[in-house]
Structure 1
Amino acid sequence: MSETTINTTELGEKIVRVLKTIYDPEIPVDIYELGLIYDVFVNQDYEVKILMTLTSPNCPVAETLPVEVEEKIKSIDEIKDTEVEITFDPPWSQDLMSEEAKLELGLL
């Protein structure tokens, strides 16, 4: 019997869908389109690690946003555990925003 392989594409899409429900309170764009999510790792044990940043180190939601991300990702049935790591390397800039986000904010 071979070990079941994770359908990472499908799980990745679920994770992205959840991330797109989380908004920066100061900008009417979700954190995924804002480019705040740098990387998402899923291992064979369905544990997720998310590497993300904030718009600034003094972001008013620096304490609550990572917790919200962690809780919402953990709510996906297949996910056993989630860890959110905040980094400011590289620092966030408007260049990381998707075209959709820039359009939404009138930057295009």
Structure 2
Amino acid sequence: MIDILKEIYDPEIPINIYDLGLVREINIDEDKITVRLIFTANKGCTLADMIAIQAKYKISKEFPNYKVSVMSDYNVKWNLSYATNEGRTMLEEIYGKETVQSLENVTIEDIIRPKFRVENLDPKSYMAEIIDRRYKEFKNWYERHRIL
């Protein structure tokens, strides 16, 4: 199950949802699989549904005889302590150790919220810019760490 969840990446942070710490619970019963997810920006995560749908699809594909339920939990705020050691290392590789350390006592919402107070902000343009920037950062990181 963990290997499946490690194939799903947060669209804004190029790290899989398991190592990022977004998977908070996995329950496997007789014929039912339940996964509870949280999101880095909590209620402000515009792509939460996409992550949940992708998780449900991948799990259902691997376990066709199970009823799969993926729940989005907006009551729990993500923080850095939820990331695995591998996830934290990935965050440090992408954003730098100092930036990651600055997240230790705050949530992503504390960082994002002030940016949304800007007048005349177009959310779609803002998100497109952020995703494009994250993609370029990931691509640069990937090129620096490419094995072949």
Band of TM-score, shorter chain? 0.7 to 0.9
Structure that is richer in strand per residue: 1
Against the structure 1 CA distance between its residues 88 and 35, is the aligned structure 2 distance closer, same or farther, given a 3 Å change threshold? same
For 2:82 and 2:63, how far apart are their aligned partners in 1? 30
SS at match of 2:20: coil
For 2:54 and 2:9, how far apart are their aligned partners in 1? 10
SS at match of 1:51: strand
Structure that is richer in helix per residue: 2
Structure with greater contact order relative to length (CA < 8 Å, sep ≥ 6): 1
Structure ID, larger Rg: 2
Query: Pick from 18, 31, 35: which aligns with 1:50?
Result: 35
Contact 1:33-1:101 at 8 Å conserved across structures: yes
Contact 2:52-2:70 at 8 Å conserved across structures: yes
Q: Which runs of 5+ in 1 are unaligned?
A: 1-14
For 2:63 and 2:75, how far apart are their aligned partners in 1? 31
Alignment: residue pair count: 93
Query: Pick from 61, 68, 83: which aligns with 2:54?
Result: 68
Amino acid at match of 1:102: R
Identity %: 26
Contact 1:74-1:80 at 8 Å conserved across structures: yes
For 2:6 and 2:73, how far apart are their aligned partners in 1? 20
Amino acid at match of 1:48: I
Partner of 2:135: none
Q: Tell me the TM-score normalized by structure 2.
A: 0.58
Partner of 2:71: 85
Contact 2:25-2:36 at 8 Å conserved across structures: yes
